[in-house]
Amino acid sequence: MHRVEHWLARAATERPHHTAIVCGAQRLDYAGLHAQAEALAAGLVHLGIEHGERVLVLAENRIETCVAVFGSLRAGAVFSLLNPGTKAAKLGWLLRDSGARVLVIQRSLLPVLRGVEGGLPELHHVLVIDEGQGFESADLPAPAQAWQALLDAGAPALAPASRGVDLDLAMLVYTSGSTGAPKGVMMHHANVRFAADSICTYLEVGPDEVVLCVLPLAFDYGLYQLLMAVRCGYTLVLERGFGFPMQVLPLLEREQVTGFPLVPTVAAVLLQLRSFRPEWARSVRFLTNTAAALPPAHIERLQALFPQARLFSMYGQTESKRCTWLPPAELARRPGSVGFAIPGTEAWVADADGRPLPPGEVGQLVVRGGHVMQGYWNQPEATARALKPGLWPWERVLHTGDLFRADEDGFLYFVGRRDDILKSRGEKVAPKEVEAVLHALPGVREAVVVGVPDPVLGQAIRALVVLAEGSTLGSRDILAHCRAHLEDFMVPREIEFRSDLPRTGTGKIQRARLQAEAEGRMFVDD
C-alpha cells in the first residue's frame, strides 16, 4: 500500500459495498468510487497526461473532487485542490505556477477561468463537471470536454501496476505565504502515507467510522478526512460547508456519525445554536480541533454538548500536515495545550540554532519526521528558510515559524506566529495579498492589513486605508472591490480610514506597531 491510490484499490477489493462517500443525495460505495477513479485515470492517460504532471481541481466539496484526487494519482499525476472561491487573477497564477496540464472545473466556476488574463500555454485540457447541463466552450484557454463524457468514453483500462513509486510527488497544497504569493507545499506519497497513519493511530480510528466533513477539501485538514477514510475503508459524509448548520447537523444522527472534525469557527457556530438536539450527538465518539486554538470555555461547552465524545486538541501546518496532538485525558488539566509530537515524529521548542530550549522558554517549534514536506514548488529560497539540515545527511527538519513554549512535563503551548500571517476562520491570510488587491483600487494611496482578536474568527481582518487626494471612495466601494478579487475569508471585516500611517526612520510602514495596536498591546520597538 505504498502509493495513495493503492488504498482505494484495497478498500474496493476488501469492502466493495461499504459506503465510501455520502454527499447530499448521492451515496457511493468503494467499488463505485474505485470504478470512477479508474475511468478518470484511463481518460487522463488517453488525453496524454504524463507521469508527474499536475492536475488542478477548482470545485466544491463533491464526489467528483474525490474522484479527481484518486484518478489523478492512479494516472501517475499530481493533484492540487484549489479553494472554490479562488478569483481569476489567482487562478491564472496557480495554473502558471503549477504548470498544470489539466484543469478540472465545476461548470458554475467557468466564469473565473474565462476571467484569467494572459496565455496559459501549458494548459492542455479543461474537464468540466457540468452535471449534464452542457456548457459553452468558446473563450476557454484550452480544449474542453465534459467530465462525464470522458469517464464514459471507455478509454482503454490501465495496467494494474502503478505508474511510479512512493517518492513521487502526490500533491501540491497551496497555502498563503508571508510574501503574498501562495506557496505550493510538495508532499510525496510517502509523506501522505506517514501522516495519515500517524493521525489514524492516535485517533484510534477503525474501519467502521463515519466521519462528517464540513471543511473544504482544498484545506489539508478537510483533504485528510477523505484520505484517511479511504486508507481505513470507512465512510465520509461530505458537506459543502457549515453555512446551514440546521441542515447539516441532523446528518449526525441519520448517518450515525462517529467523528466530527472542527475548527474554532465551526465550534462557535455550533455553540450558538439554540435548538441543538441531544440525539444528534449520541453516536459521536470523537471531535477534533486544529487550525487555531479553541477558547477553554468552548471546550467545556462542547464536551457538554457531545458527552460521549473525546475531544482532541491539535496543532498543524500544511508543511507537515499535523505536528502535535493532546490526548483527551489531559484536556481538563491542560486546556491551553496542543500536546506533543504525533506518533513517529519529534517536535521541540528551539533556540535560533534549532537546539532544544528548557521548559517555560519561548522559541520556534521545530519538527522532524516522515510527514515533513519536500519543499515549496518552484520556491527554493522559501524552502531553504523552512527546511534546515537535520541529524542525518539526507534529513531536513521543519522550522515552523510558530512560537511555542513547553511546560515541565513537555506539553506544548502555542504562543504566536513569527511572520505576518494572520489566521481568520482557521484559514491563513497573508496581509500582503490583501494589500496588493487594495492597492490596485484607484483612489487608495496606501493600505495595511492587520488582525483584530475575535472570539469567533480567531482574528478578524481590518484594513487601514489612506485615500489618495480627492478620492471619494467609501468602505462599501472598497469592500465590493475586495469581494470581487479575494476569496471570502480574506475580505476585510472592517475598513478604517486614516490620514497617514506610522513609519520607521527609513520610511517603511510600521506594520508591527499597527498590529500591536489592533491587539490592544504595547508595541516595543526592536
CA distance 196 to 69: 15
Q: Which secondary structure element, helix H or strand E, spans residue 106, and what is its range? A: strand 102-106
Cβ distance to ligand ASP smaller for residue 147 or 377: 377
Which residue's C-alpha cell is 465534459? Answer: 146
Element (DSSP H or E) covering residue 235 = strand 235-238
* Interacting residue with ligand ASP among 318, 337, 459, 515 (CB under 6 A): 318
Range in contact with ligand ASP (rule: CB under 6 A) among 34-42, 66-74, 104-112, 311-319: 311-319
Q: Which is nearer to ligand ASP, 94 or 228 (CB)?
A: 228
Q: Is 217 in the site for ligand ASP (CB under 6 A)?
A: no
**Cell triple for residue 387?**
527546511
Residue 376 interacting with ligand ASP (CB under 6 A): no
DSSP code per residue over 313-326: EEE--GGGS--EEE
d(CA 330, CA 314): 12
Q: Which residue is associated with the grid cell 470545485?
A: 59
Of 105-113, 151-159, 228-236, 316-324: span binding ligand ASP (CB under 6 A): 316-324
Any contact of residue 176 with ligand ASP (CB under 6 A)? Answer: no
By rule CB under 6 A, what count of residues binds ligand ASP?
10
> Least distance from C-beta 51 to ligand ASP, angstroms?
27
d(CA 54, CA 186) in angstroms, rounded, equals: 12
Options 87, 101, 163, 321; binder of ligand ASP; rule CB under 6 A? 321
Output the smallest distance, CB 334 to ligand ASP, in A: 18
> Is 185 a residue that touches ligand ASP (CB under 6 A)?
no
> What is the CB-side half-sphere exposure of residue 388 using CA atoms within 13 A?
14
Helix (H), strand (E) at residue 57: strand 54-58
Q: Per CB under 6 A, which region of 49-57, 302-310, 315-323, 327-335 contacts ligand ASP?
A: 315-323
- Restricted to residues 135-164, the positions that interact with ligand ASP (CB under 6 A) are none
Rg for the chain, CA atoms, rounded: 23
Binding mask 278-307 for ligand ASP (x = CB under 6 A): ------------xx----------------
Asked if 79 and 104 touch (Cβ cutoff 8 Å), the reply is no
CB of 317 to ligand ASP, least distance (A): 5
- For position 183 contacting ligand ASP by CB under 6 A, the verdict is no
Question: By beta-carbon distance, which residue lies closest to ligand ASP?
Answer: 316
Phi and psi of 319, rounded to 5°?
-65, -20
Q: Which residue bears the cell 441531544?
A: 278
**Which residues of the shown chain bind ligand ASP in the complex (CB under 6 A)?**
220-221, 290-291, 314, 316-318, 321-322
